[in-house]
Amino acid sequence: MYEILKVRNITKSFGGLTAVNKLSFDISSGETVGLIGPNGAGKTTLVNLLCGSYYADSGEIEMDGKHITRMKPYQRCRMGLSRTYQIPRPFPELTALMSVVTSALCGKKRTNRGLDDAAAEATHYLEFVGLFSKRNILARDLTFFELRMLELARALATTPKLLFVDEVMAGLNPGEANRAVHLIARAKEEFGLTIFWIEHVMAVLMEAAERIIAIHFGEKLAEGTPEEIANDEKVIEAYLGSGWRKTDK
Amino acid sequence: MVDAEIKRDRIIIRYKGKKWDWMLEPRYWRNTFIWTACLLIFPILCYFISPILLNTLITANLYAAIAIPLGLMTVGTGRLNFGPNFFVGVGGYAAAILSIAYGWGPLKTLAPAILISLISALLFSPLVILARGLYYVLLTLLLPLVFLEVTFIYSDLFKGDVGLAGIKLLMDLGDVKINFLMIAYLSIFLVLLYLLVVNKILKSRYGLIMAAINDDEEVAHGIGVNINMVKILAFVFSAGMIGVVGWFYAHYFGTFAGITYLPLTFMVKILLVIFIGGRAQVFGCVVGGYFVAFLEMILIATLGNIQPVVFPIILLILLFALPEGLFGIYRKRRYREYLPTLHVRR
């Protein structure tokens, strides 16, 4: 257990709106960390900052002892950071297999990686998420759940150390959501991942996460085990609402 | 003995333990050889039937030779460049000025023409990163027009008003007709070379990466593609290829004037080639090139002066009537194909 990601006082504002305000936390390797917060709390902005889609105004991000605050997204990806998107963003004109091949080609640097080698490896990830039978179908023709799974396969194919999962449950029915959660748990075991999981559905994180960080208006409200978070006065007030009972789970 | 057998979809021929089969359905034909043979026979036919057609043929090939790298550029950068004729101008002027100043032949000017095209493309390559959507379209559209103005302003160097004359010819074999025939074959060779190179690139891993960039730049960046490098490489490489066409024009006619290649009328023809051929279909560009060149010839013969007005109207009609292009009718949709069709990013 070492600290794979260290975040120190990162701040990001859009015009007058401060989306993320002096946020600091650590993620240890092998952990599943949950992130909760009400709508507009800055959850997705935080992931965008960590993955490099935006640059932080101030503060530092450190991964494996290297400063990645100013690194570009592809450099961070090659260091072992990968993400899925809240709304699936597939390559619509590519087949399912070829989308995964692209990330197997470009993810972590491996010597003498050709198209065939990448295709062989991509097949494994596609099989893992259960899309092997749909490998030759264009991504734009897949269903919403299949797109989610394709995103996951694409993220896994870059061989990440740390995987950001952005609201995997959104728009899925309970059966599909259950499959998705189990798949992520299996991926964590099989590929030895560290998972940073953003979620609205509290019940999922209560089971899956070992530690939860709650944010509100870009500031950290509380951090601790799921039980501590569920019983935290401030979190209940800001996010869960007065209607929340632990027995509801 | 030779043993032929007709199955439902194919003819199977067996001879001494060897087996050949020929698909009857046209969409399964491996048409590379047929098309190449057609291309190679065409100039000879024209030579005997009507040598004037050879000029149209060369024009058609050169349109295709501009459109093929433009397809690569469009896929690689994820943006549609509206000013490919800028690089025709750069390559052509480089060859023309060097040939007139130092008396160099076409072989000597080829390398400098490519080099200057590459350098100019590298100079303007930040556009690929900074501008997107309509801004990119507008900026690339302005490049050749600004260059045209430059040729008028620095008239003592570029001779923008009369054009540069006295460039060494591509080849001189004595007979004019034979000359034209050989130049036609040279232009066909150029087209075939470009088809081979661009198709190889698009089918390789770099083609796949370009397809990903064409679909969604940000996601491609997120999964580890160095998008800026790929985009600049695609831009510069195809600009060099287009520059060679400018070199060809300069040495083919012996004169070079920016007013012929840099204005919008020329650009509309190239766009027409692309839209008829099918978006990002490199093989379609050849079909489109021949279509446009022969249409142009017929229009000049029948309509005369209003011919430049007719081209954009045809372009508009085709955009609505045939969004996949003429080649799209021929090409059936195949799911295994991962090469994308082009779309202009907004």
pLDDT in tens, A50-98: 988 889 889 999 988 889 888 999 999 999 999 999 889 998 888 899 8
> Which A-chain residues 91-110 have CB contacts (< 8 A) with chain B?
91-95, 98-99, 101-103, 105-108
Quick one: average pLDDT of B25-46?
77
Quick one: average pLDDT of A177-198?
90
**CB-nearest partner of A102 from B204, B212, B336:** B212
Q: Say whether pLDDT at B345 is over 80.
A: no
Would you call A118 an interface residue with chain B, using a CB distance cutoff of 8 Å?
Answer: yes
Q: Say whether pLDDT at A103 is over 60.
A: yes
Single pTM value for the model? 0.87
**CB-nearest partner of B205 from A53, A91, A114:** A114
Q: Which residues of A touch B212 (CB under 8 A)?
A: 91, 94, 99, 102
Structural domain containing residue A15: 1-71+195-249
- Percent of chain B past pLDDT 70, that is, above it, reads 91
Weakest mean pLDDT among A20-24, B12-16, B337-341:
B337-341
- What string of DSSP letters covers B203-265? HSHHHHHHHHHHH-HHHHHHTT--HHHHHHHHHHHHHHHHHHHHHHHHHHHSEE-HHHHSSHH
Separation between Cα atoms, residue A77 and residue B220, nearest integer Å: 11
Chain B nearest C-alpha distance from A152 (Å): 12
Weakest mean pLDDT among A96-110, B98-112, B161-175:
B161-175
Higher pLDDT among residues B312 and B185, named by residue: B185
Q: Which residues of A touch B280 (CB under 8 A)?
A: none
Query: Which pLDDT belongs to residue B331?
Result: 57
For B173-229, write each residue's pLDDT tens digit: 888 888 889 999 999 999 999 999 998 888 888 888 998 998 889 999 999 999 999
Chain B nearest C-alpha distance from A53 (Å): 8
Q: Which residues of B touch A165 (CB under 8 A)?
A: none
Higher pLDDT among residues A149 and B307, named by residue: A149
For residue B294, give the 3-state DSSP assignment: helix
Query: Which pLDDT belongs to residue B174?
Result: 81
Give the residue among B230, B242, B264 at the shortest CA–CA distance from B117.
Answer: B242
For B322-342, write each residue's pLDDT tens digit: 776 776 666 555 433 444 443
Q: List the CATH number of the domain containing A240.
A: 3.40.50.300
Chain B nearest C-alpha distance from A78 (Å): 6
The pair of structure tokens assigned to B232 is 């600049």
CA–CA distances in Å: residue B219 to residues A74, A106, A155, A239, B323: 10, 12, 10, 31, 27
Quote the number of domains for chain A. Answer: 1
**Contacting residues for A150 by C-beta, under 8 A, at least 6 apart:** A88, A90, A96, A99, A100, A129, A131, A139, A142
Q: Which residues of B touch A102 (CB under 8 A)?
A: 208-209, 211-212, 220, 223, 225
Q: Which residues of B touch A90 (CB under 8 A)?
A: 216
Separation between Cα atoms, residue B234 and residue B167, nearest integer Å: 31
Q: Quickly state the pLDDT bin for A206 (edges 50, 70, 90).
A: confident
Pick the CATH number of B33-330 from 1.10.4160, 1.10.3470, 3.30.110, 1.10.10: 1.10.3470
CA–CA distances in Å: residue A115 to residues A112, A156, A197, B71, B77: 10, 17, 32, 22, 21
Burial letters B53-83, b for 16+ CB under 10 A, else e: bbbbbbbbbbbbbbbbbbbbbbbbbbbbbbb
Would you call A132 an interface residue with chain B, using a CB distance cutoff of 8 Å?
Answer: no
- Percent of chain A past pLDDT 90, that is, above it, reads 28
Query: Which pLDDT belongs to residue A108?
Result: 82
- A23 in Cβ contact with A46 (< 8 Å): yes
Query: Which pLDDT belongs to residue A3?
Result: 85
Would you call A158 an interface residue with chain B, using a CB distance cutoff of 8 Å?
Answer: yes
Does the residue A126 lie in any domain?
no
Tell me the ipTM for this assembly: 0.88
> CB B223 to CB A154 under 8 A?
yes
Does the residue A156 lie in any domain?
no
The chain-wide mean pLDDT, for chain B, equals 85
Q: Say whether pLDDT at B344 is over 80.
A: no
Query: Which pLDDT belongs to residue B334?
Result: 46
Query: Which pLDDT belongs to residue A208?
Result: 84
For A146-184, write each residue's pLDDT tens digit: 999 999 999 999 999 999 998 888 888 889 988 988 999
Query: Which pLDDT belongs to residue A44?
Result: 86
Give the pairing type, strands B10-15 and A58-63.
Answer: unpaired
- A56 in Cβ contact with A69 (< 8 Å): yes
Structure-derived torsion over alpha carbons of residues A3, A9, A10, A13, reported in degrees to the nearest 10: 160
Query: Which pLDDT belongs to residue B167?
Result: 87
CATH 1.10.3470 positions along chain B are: 33-330
Does the residue A207 lie in any domain?
yes
Query: Which pLDDT belongs to residue B279?
Result: 66
Q: What are phi and psi of B6, to 5 degrees?
A: -100, 115
Does the residue A139 lie in any domain?
no
Separation between Cα atoms, residue A38 and residue A65, nearest integer Å: 32
Q: Say whether pLDDT at A27 is over 50.
A: yes
For A36-54, write each residue's pLDDT tens digit: 888 888 888 898 999 888 8
